[in-house]
Amino acid sequence: MTPDAAAPPLAVVVKGYPRLSETFIAQELKALEDRGHAFHIWSLRKPYDDRLHPIHGEIRARVFYLPEYLHEEPLRVLAGLGGALLRRGFLAAFAVWLADLARDPSLNRIRRFGQACVLAREAAGSVRFLYAHFLHTPASVARYASIIRGAAWGFSAHARDIWTIPEWEKREKIADARFGVTCTKAGARHLQALARDAERIEMLHHGLDLRRFPPPPEPRPPHAGRSAEDRVTFVSVGRLVEKKGYRDLLAALSDLPKAAHWRLVHIGGGPLDGVLKEQARRLGIADRIEWRGKRDQRDVLAALREADVFVLAARIASDGDRDGLPNVLLEAASQNLAILATRVGAIGEFVAHDRTGLLVKAGHIGALTEALNALLRDPKRREALGAAARERLEREFGVEKGVARIADKLTAALRLAGAAPQPAPGAAP
């Protein structure tokens, strides 16, 4: 389905939409619409989650899916290539792509150029700016398509996309983009060091729209793990992948005193599901763990409200991937929940050790066990840490500041491109 001629001048390019693990993107898109921006969403992949967050149903933008694999839609890809060949910018885009392909001779690189040609052909003629979420594959598609169309583009970088692509690629994308934003200080420092003009990169925390969350529950029962009725519930929300550190968490939990009563509730899916369940069985703690799988935000919030401690044992993966500042930490703080996490990525930008949570060294099983045991046995400390995290969230991590800056950047970029921002249907005037 091709957009009509009245399409908005802004196109948002994402890797997959909608995704349960990317509430921060949905939150931003909804906030941009609320601030008056209209856009179409172009996704490199179709959704694979079996449910949606409520916020996805509130986003009014139309969604278009590019061919995920070029051989699956050959006629569409050939039409995209033919349309791109007729455009003045095709040779320049082809030269950029060839230079990229020489350094990254992969099928993935070929796929991105094919998707860019389809996007360049099928996006309405009114599109004058492309905004990509993630600096890796979505930014590649947006960059090639923008050159073909003679349009400008910008990006928002997050975590994996910053740390797992080569520096030459980051430098060239930053140089070509109208602007770049990223959600952590660590990511901003890294990208600014690669930019000819450091001011082109701006740090904007995602923050949290507290209007969308219930107030914290009444003070939690002072569980201390002394009996089955006094059991402490740990909760963790995250994909079952290496960088989330669940192998470390299971090992640390298994080292807790045998007399302590606790359970772990986990929410999320991922490729390590079977491996981790088998590890829990070998460690003798399988009966203490509830694997709930993928859940929408309503179920996540219910779990956070019922738990005593939120724990995330993130680490740097073998390919360099790591967390930025996971939004679920902010969601836990919204419910006055004590947080235990590791010093990885930008987690320390929100969790201040022994003030708004506890931080331990990533991969240090003994330190993680010690911190788990300390929080398990001290409900007053949990209560104080949870209240302090909520207070910092309210003071420093609201969503409005970041979204306002992005909305301003998009408005300025569209005006430079000779297109006035088109208001979203139903947006406040």
What pLDDT, on the 0 to 100 scale, is given for residue 422? 67
CATH code: domain of residue 321: 3.40.50.2000
Reference 184, options 18, 30, 9, 324; nearest CA is 324
Same domain, 130 and 276: no
Mean pLDDT of the chain: 94
CA 33 remoteness from chain centre: 19
pLDDT digits (tens, 9 = 90+) for 389-424: 999 999 999 888 889 999 999 999 999 988 766 666
The C-alpha R_g of the chain, in whole angstroms, comes to: 23
Same domain, 239 and 379: yes
**349's tokens:** 């930008």
Residue 425 lies in a domain: no
For 171, 195, 262, 355, 390, the CA distances from 168, given in Å and listed in that order, are 5, 11, 48, 39, 40
Same domain, 222 and 199: no
Grade residue 311 by pLDDT with cuts at 50, 70 and 90: very high
**308's tokens:** 């005593």
Same domain, 183 and 91: yes
What pLDDT, on the 0 to 100 scale, is given for residue 369? 98
Do 99 and 58 touch, CB atoms closer than 8 A?
A: no
pLDDT digits (tens, 9 = 90+) for 170-208: 999 999 999 999 999 999 999 999 999 998 999 998 889
What pLDDT, on the 0 to 100 scale, is given for residue 428? 52
- The tally of domains found in the chain comes to 2
pTM, whole model, 2 decimals?
0.86
Same domain, 200 and 262: no
Grade residue 49 by pLDDT with cuts at 50, 70 and 90: confident
Same domain, 37 and 87: yes
Same domain, 367 and 234: yes
Parent domain of 199: 10-206+399-416
What pLDDT, on the 0 to 100 scale, is given for residue 5? 53
Q: Classify residue 364 by burial, with Cβ atoms within 10 Å: 0-12, 13-18, 19+.
A: middle
Same domain, 290 and 172: no
What pLDDT, on the 0 to 100 scale, is given for residue 21? 81
Same domain, 29 and 159: yes
pLDDT digits (tens, 9 = 90+) for 67-77: 999 999 999 99
pLDDT digits (tens, 9 = 90+) for 79-138: 999 999 999 999 999 999 999 999 999 999 999 999 999 999 999 889 999 999 999 999
CA 285 remoteness from chain centre: 31
Do 39 and 414 touch, CB atoms closer than 8 A?
A: no
Beta bridge partners, 17, equal none
Same domain, 352 and 220: yes
Same domain, 176 and 276: no
Residue 80 lies in a domain: yes
pLDDT digits (tens, 9 = 90+) for 206-264: 889 898 899 999 999 999 999 999 999 999 999 999 999 999 999 999 999 999 999 99
